[in-house]
């Protein structure tokens, strides 16, 4: 599901800026930072006044009992209409998590997800060399593409990816990803009772590349299908519609 945040009139922006200035001195404990950042998109349009960027958030939900048929999709892929114009895209992983996943496991799962998309286009989309930063936060517009675990205040939400882009030129300039710690995470090949990190990261990186969610049940096999559940691993590998969508943006 998409929540698009559009530019607000200057007068409203001034009020927002004043209220931000008034509350800027509140110190947020480190443990609550992810929660605080996660709340931001629900509360107000998120606009960076320096760069005039727009932001869209992709909320990945747990599969409901009856997901419905969704809209009939002709193609099983959908482009956001924004994409990266400067490649490769580098990213920073914060491996800190409450589920005893090692740094090596987390970086391995995320980089495997990135390479899955890379392998489907001759463009070098995601940089093979990622970095690890235990202070990297989700939801901070700083031109750093950050992936982190944190508490998102909705137990039906598995993960969120935010994408910032220029309204003119439709150029993606940043993405951030949050894996909601209200779900148990891990490797579903070893334990089917967990949310598979590589599975979800591959879906979310599709948003980071410029692909939208697909909710039609006739397309439920594709990586960009909008729902997931514990133990699911089918999104680790791309289906033809995912590849077609990617290649329409970055070439074969
Ligand atoms: Zn999604």
- pLDDT of 111 reads 98
Structure tokens at 47: 């606009």
Model pLDDT, residue 155: 93
Gap between the Cα atoms of 199 and 61, Å rounded: 14
Confidence check: pLDDT of 8 > 50: no
**pLDDT mean over 218-222:** 96
Q: Is the confidence at residue 9, as pLDDT, over 50?
A: no
The domain total for the chain is 1
Distance 237 CA to ligand 1 centre (A): 15
Which residue segment(s) compose the domain that 114 sits in?
2-250
Q: Read off the pTM.
A: 0.82
207 Cα: distance to centroid of ligand 1 (angstroms): 7
How far does residue 132's CA lie from ligand 1's centre (Å)?
24
Residues 6+ apart with CB under 8 A from 109: 187, 197, 198, 201
Rounded to the nearest whole angstrom, what is the distance from the C-alpha of residue 29 to the centroid of ligand 1? 29
How many A from CA of 214 to the centre of ligand 1? 8
Banded pLDDT at 67 (limits 50, 70, 90): confident
Beta strands, E only, the chain: 2-5, 54-62, 92-93, 131-132, 146-150, 157-165, 172-180, 185-186, 195-196, 227-228
Average pLDDT, stretch 25-35? 44
- CA 60 / ligand 1 centre spacing (Å): 5
Ligand 1 centroid from CA 225, angstroms:
7
- Give the CATH number, domain containing residue 72: 3.40.390.10
Query: 15 alpha carbon to ligand 1 midpoint, in Å?
Result: 32
Question: What pLDDT score does 49 carry?
Answer: 54
Specify the DSSP class assigned to residue 236: G
Do you know the residue count of the chain?
252
Confidence band of 247 (pLDDT split at 50, 70, 90):
very high
pLDDT tens, position by position, 143-198: 999 999 999 999 999 999 999 999 999 999 999 999 999 999 999 999 999 999 99
Lowest mean pLDDT among 54-68, 109-123, 124-138: 54-68
Residue 88: both structure tokens together: 């490769």
- pLDDT in the model for residue 65: 77
């Amino acid at each position: 599901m998409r929540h698009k945040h559009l530019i607000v009139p200057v007068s409203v922006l001034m009020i927002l800026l004043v209220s931000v200035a008034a509350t800027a001195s509140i110190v947020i404990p480190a443990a609550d930072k992810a929660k605080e950042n996660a709340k931001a998109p629900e509360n107000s349009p998120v606009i960076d006044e320096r760069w005039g960027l727009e932001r869209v958030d992709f909320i990945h939900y747990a599969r409901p009992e009856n997901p419905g048929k969704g809209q009939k999709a002709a193609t099983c892929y959908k482009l956001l209409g924004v994409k990266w114009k400067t490649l490769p895209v580098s990213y920073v992983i914060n491996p800190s998590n409450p589920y005893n996943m090692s740094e090596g496991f987390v970086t391995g799962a995320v980089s495997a997800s990135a390479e899955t998309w890379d392998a489907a286009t001759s463009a070098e989309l995601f940089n093979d060399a990622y970095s690890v930063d235990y202070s990297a936060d989700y939801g901070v517009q700083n031109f750093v593409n950050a992936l982190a675990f944190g508490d998102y205040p909705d137990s039906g939400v598995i993960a969120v990816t935010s994408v910032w882009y220029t309204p003119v030129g439709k150029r993606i300039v940043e993405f951030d990803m949050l894996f909601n710690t209200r779900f148990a995470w891990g490797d579903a090949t070893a334990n089917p009772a967990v949310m598979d990190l590589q599975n979800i990261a591959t879906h979310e990186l599709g948003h980071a590349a410029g692909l939208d969610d697909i909710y039609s049940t006739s397309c439920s096999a594709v990586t960009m299908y909008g729902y997931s559940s514990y133990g699911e691993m089918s999104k680790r590998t791309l289906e033809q519609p995912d590849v077609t969508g990617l290649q329409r943006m970055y070439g074969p």
